[in-house]
Structure 1
């Protein structure tokens, strides 16, 4: 972690980030997700369309992200970053994030795919990793 405020590079270098999305009531919901850097300066992860995350993002693109562990406990000394999310289901950005997730997380992608098929996600009929979420981090540093 760099000294001072958390940066997009700090976030992307980590294994997980705590993603906070917001219900229609404004209530925050935080989930740990994998994270990869995207060539255009955003960060991204994959999820399933129809998951709670995508349902909340469908009505508000506002997110808060912060480096975390696998359980979503934020990394000591890190700062929360405000951002705007965009969901994509195909195209160059989808392909880039999918390839980077596979490269960064390796065999874990295969394991989580299997677990998704036999777990609650599979029983709900949700597809595994059919949606990429791209997050633009708001620049908090003065110009």
Structure 2
């Protein structure tokens, strides 16, 4: 499968297994919501999550389409990439992309959580370049 075909498969997927790496090089996979646009993948996560902490030490990631539980189909393409953490205006763009892809599901998660936290959104965006 070519890189373009793999990115197209990512674009059509519902969840992606985002693998980040510990200091010792061990990969840790986590299923996440994501969007693909302009040859990049966009992920939204809590700022205090372990994946954010691991990305601060090592920007290498690997993506593979998965199911809601993080199970990657046998033979599924894995795409390596480099991630960077974003906040501010770039985070708003990530939220908009995910809102467009997941519509009401995204708002069912985001809105009540924001109300509970009195409007604060302790989130970070992850932009993955393939």
User: Shared topology, TM-score over 0.5?
Assistant: yes
Give the unaligned 5+ runs of structure 2: none
**CA-atom RMSD, angstroms?**
2.3
**Per the alignment, in what secondary structure is the counterpart of residue 106 of structure 1?**
helix
TM-score relative to the length of structure 2: 0.83
Q: Are 2:104 and 1:107 aligned? A: yes
Deviations 1:93-135 (A, max 9, x none): 43322111011111211332346988xxx8xxxx656211010
Give, in angstroms, the shift of residue 62 of structure 1.
0.3
Alignment of 1:1-143 (within 5 A): 4-5=1-2, 7-39=6-38, 41-91=39-89, 93-113=90-110, 114=112, 128=121, 130-137=123-130
| Maintained 8 Å contact 1:65/1:81 | yes
Give the unaligned 5+ runs of structure 1: 138-143
2 CA distance for matches of 1:31 and 1:115?
Answer: 21
- Structure whose residues are more often helix by fraction: 2
| Maintained 8 Å contact 1:47/1:128 | no
Give the total of aligned pairs: 125
- Structure whose residues are more often strand by fraction: 2
2 CA distance for matches of 1:112 and 1:70?
Answer: 15
